[in-house]
Structure 1
Amino acid sequence: MDSVEVIGKTEKVMEDIRQTEGWAGYLRDKGWEVVSVHSEDKKHKMNAFIVPLGLFGFTLMKLQRSSYDPNWAELKRIKRKQRTVSSVIEPIRIQDELGFKMAGYKLSKFPYLATKTFILDLTKSETELWNNLSENAKRQVNKNKGALIEECDQKKFFELWKKNSKVWTMKERELGSLIKRFKGQARLVVSRTGNIYHSGLLIIYSADCANYYQTWTSNEGRISGAHYKLVWEEMLTAKSSGIKFFDLEGIFDERWPQKRWLGFTEFKRRFGGELVSFPGSYFRWL
């Protein structure tokens, strides 16, 4: 992948999980179709996802987290062939704003994906990463030295997730599909003390980035703060594997404010990552 806007320092180069073969396989398992689209200069390819609507063969198209503008003429042909009635593009960056406008795409008020995130640079030394943590985060990690961080089997993880999540959880078969399709690049990790489970994390690796994809925290975990230790150790695990970046996968964005994002935004801020903004979600009918 190419660059994204980073407020305050440098540009990052990384592969987003939504443009990987693992993600494509996961969506195929859900009954979606995956089609390849060339970039406008025809030097690159990206995956677009076709969602069947179940009505007269009509479909919805999603093209997410590509670094390149699509070839608009090719995209139009594909949409016509797929009987696409609406399409959404959520890019890493926009190369030519006029191209989006001429193709009829307008900025939506309702993005599907997170529009801001914090990204940690794992090429820094462990000491630098530690020093970038907030004082509160350091205290929580040190306080939970006795907590065990370990991988968890799918069935146990899903039971804990369903029990402790206050919002949406994916279906168990979808979780299994992700684990299968990412072939060792998706891990289920938990924090616990004895038989008490504090938190869990589904983390997915792309070629050079660890993605903090889904998480849960128990009532005990909200008191203990053990999730700080889990995330810290996962940062170090990814670093030791040669991964360059750790994407905390979404924070509050004042452009499209959602109050429920405020709490975990503060949690993620305490790990000292760089703020990354994406252009948003572009939509058109037909």
Structure 2
Amino acid sequence: MEIQQSSLYKMYIQSLGWQVVSLDGSNVFIRRFPFVGSLAKIQRPTKLPNLTKLVPVLKQYNVRTLAVEPDRRVAQIQLRAWCKRIGRHVRLNGMPFLPTKTMYINLSPSGQAIFDKFSEAKRRAVRRSIKNNVTVKESTNIDDLIRVKNKSAGMFGFITTYGIKKLWNIFAPKHAAILLAYSSPNETVGGVLLLFWKDTAYYWIAGATKKGKKLFAPTLLVWEALKLAKNRGAKQFDFVGVWDERIPNKFHEWKGFTKFKEGFGGAAQYYPLTP
């Protein structure tokens, strides 16, 4: 089970004003919108819901649009057939809410073995960041992370951190951690929010200031996040999204951070695409 189907994520979604219906082993997120009907999302189910159970729920909540984004264990051919049947009852959303491709790093090897799989440029960046006197510390201050992320994302940075404080309050401390990077004791130049569920650590949100990027803080933060995740018992590290070459005309803006994430030696993982 991925984190989007967890009990804590259900609480988080409800805190944002969504209704959650548990159906056939999966959580269905429903949000009503005036005049246009409701939107339903089924995110990362390990199996597709039985239509005889799902369709009545969609009608009950006046769902006009359905987004389904299954777990990697759902085969593409199975999703295609399921969508063809459900498409007779509701409009399917064609634009993904969640990444369709991600990168996983296996945390089972030793820390040194994980580091050795980094590209030469990434290993050098870690060393240069340390040489630049960047320090990384674990924190419980979600406001500091939000400030860094908002600053790094530009004019509309607040959109990228919507609901993050609620997420932190629900998941922390057992299932979340914050790492902040400092160029000096009073200057935060980067940060990462990690979420933990089952045996997976999720690289949920990350950001760095211009100064932090010049000091290679983002690379050092990933290295420290990998070590923290391993120490907390995670078996794999999910980068939570990279650009997907199967849909080349979408999310071009992701190519930059995709190149960044690919430098850490992970393996690509693909989710089935909604037709």
Matches for 1:31-110 after TM superposition, within 5 Å: 31-38=17-24, 45-55=25-35, 58-93=37-72, 94-95=74-75, 96=78, 97-104=80-87, 109-110=94-95
Q: How far has the Cα of 1:182 moved from its partner?
A: 1.1
Question: Deviation string for 1:75-131 (max 9, x for gaps)?
Answer: 101111111111110111434242332222888642111111100111122122111
Q: Which residue matches 1:148? A: 135
Query: Mind listing any 5+ residue stretches in structure 2 that lack a counterpart?
Result: none
Query: Mind listing any 5+ residue stretches in structure 1 that lack a counterpart?
Result: 2-15, 39-44
Distance in 1, Cα, partners of 2:11 & 2:110: 35
Q: Which residue matches 1:5? A: none
Computed over aligned residues only, the root mean square deviation of the Cα atoms, in angstroms, reads: 2.0
Q: How far has the Cα of 1:157 moved from its partner?
A: 2.1
Q: Are residues 1:175 and 2:155 paired?
A: no
TM-score scaled by structure 2?
A: 0.88
Q: Are residues 1:188 and 2:178 paired?
A: yes
Question: In 2 relative to 1, CA 253–124 (structure 1 residues): closer, same or farther, beyond 3 Å?
Answer: same
- Secondary structure of residue in 1 paired with 2:124: helix
**Residue from 98, 106, 109 that aligns with 1:124:** 109
Matches for 1:234-249 after TM superposition, within 5 Å: 234-249=225-240
Q: Are residues 1:114 and 2:68 paired?
A: no
Q: Are residues 1:210 and 2:193 paired?
A: no
- Secondary structure of residue in 1 paired with 2:158: coil
**Residue from 2, 5, 8 that aligns with 1:22:** 8
Question: In 2 relative to 1, CA 123–169 (structure 1 residues): closer, same or farther, beyond 3 Å?
Answer: farther
Q: Which one has the bigger helix percentage?
A: 2
Amino acid at match of 1:100: C
Question: In 2 relative to 1, CA 173–137 (structure 1 residues): closer, same or farther, beyond 3 Å?
Answer: closer
Amino acid at match of 2:35: L
Question: Deviation string for 1:157-184 (max 9, x for gaps)?
Answer: 2222222223543487722210111131
Q: Is the 8 A contact 2:67 2:94 kept in 1?
A: no
Distance in 2, Cα, partners of 1:119 & 1:128: 15
- Secondary structure of residue in 2 paired with 1:215: strand
Amino acid at match of 1:183: A
Amino acid at match of 1:209: T
Q: Count residues in correspondence.
A: 261
Q: Which residue matches 1:220? A: 211
Distance in 2, Cα, partners of 1:63 & 1:154: 28
TM-score scaled by structure 1?
A: 0.85
Runs of 4+ aligned residues of structure 1 deviating over 6 Å after TM superposition are: none
Distance in 2, Cα, partners of 1:73 & 1:238: 41
